[in-house]
Structure 1
Amino acid sequence: MTKHPVIIEDTGLGLFQVEVRAQGASFLSDEPISSGGLASGPGPFDLLGAALGACTVMTVKLYAQRKSIAVSHVQVMVTHQRDPESRRDVFERSIFIDATVTGEEMKLLLAAADRCPVSRTLSAGSDIVTTRSETAIATARRVEDKTHIRAMDRVCDELADG
């Protein structure tokens, strides 16, 4: 298993503001003012929703390209809430696909969305292993991570074979 680190550290500004660095890019994550943050970036659950939405758009576009399905635009809206009875997190995903396609092609595009790697990860759950680092974590920026693109390729291959 290849490890591709994402480095997150507090900025020293406000209680919750952190800088996130991944693949040569960086951005802020924070909580809203009403929760004691500075509202300087998306919160952690916004980032989970963004990961789900981004993966969905990427997987649908990749599958459409592989199958020569003319898709001109894909848009996803993700909301998050916790079910008060089951205490499970629920991500609701609404997908707009601008394309002139048959009903069967749309069905395949939506199947690709349901199988996107982040959707599978959130649905299955994950193991989280925590360790303590004795020294500050290196802040070197990684240049290339192909883990996600390989997972999307597998989804498209599975749909083609099944």
Structure 2
Amino acid sequence: MNQRVDAVGETIVIDETKNGPFQLKVRTGSATFIADEPIGIGGLGSGPNPYDLLSAALGTCSVMTMRLYASRKKWPLERIRVKVTHLRNGLDAADTFSREIQLQGSLSDEQQQKLLEIVSNCPVYKTIERGSEVLTTLVFSGSLVDEAVSLCEHMRGMEQACDQAEAQDATSESG
């Protein structure tokens, strides 16, 4: 439980604002926003809660990955909307995320099906699906590096998912 993480990775920094018991300032490499809990449970309702952020990560990655693939293919995809519903199944059971996807534009049935395949390869979906290791370290006062770092890992993951899909397309077309 007290392991040091020395690897360079994307880093966000979270600080209490001291405005209410749960309000937090979240800094990424390129943005700052507030996270909080709803008023009904003691928060100020000033931002998304952690599960909202997790659902948002899945939904936004889904849209971005489909958009990247459709743009590469120059498909007539006008708009993508995704609704993510998160069902908690208890503290120790696997949770369920339900994605509803709406694609607008003059897409063929084949193009729509391909986008549904691609969305199952978006980086955040893959992270949730395979699980992750969480390393925790207790850091003493003054030794926490206060720098948020963005390495564009998400974009690289989306590009890799699209590259793999295009390679599969080429293989199935030639075979």
TM-score (norm 1): 0.92
Q: Which stretches of structure 1, 4 residues or longer, exceed 4 Å deviation after superposition?
A: none
**Where does residue 123 of structure 1 map in the other structure?**
129
Residue ranges of structure 1 left out of the alignment (5+ in a row): none
**Where does residue 66 of structure 2 map in the other structure?**
60
Q: 1:36-115, aligned counterparts within 5 Å?
A: 36-83=42-89, 87-115=93-121
1:26 to 2:25 alignment: no
AA at the equivalent of 2:48 = P
Of the three residues 143, 146, 152, the one matched with 1:146 is 152
**Alpha-carbon deviation of 1:69?**
1.1
**Deviation larger for 95-104 or 57-66:** 95-104
In structure 2, how many angstroms separate the alpha carbons of the residues matched to 1:71 and 1:52? 20
**Alpha-carbon deviation of 1:83?**
2.9
Larger Rg: 2
- Overall identity of the aligned pairs, in %: 38
**Alpha-carbon deviation of 1:24?**
2.8
Q: Secondary structure at the match of 2:115?
A: helix
**Where does residue 172 of structure 2 map in the other structure?**
none
- Go from structure 1 to structure 2 and tell me whether the alpha carbon gap of 1:141 and 1:5 turns closer, same or farther (over 3 Å shift): closer
Judge conservation of contact 2:17–2:23 (CA < 8 Å) in 1.
Answer: yes
Q: Secondary structure at the match of 1:140?
A: coil
**Where does residue 157 of structure 1 map in the other structure?**
163
Higher RCO (C-alpha under 8 Å, 6+ residues apart): 2
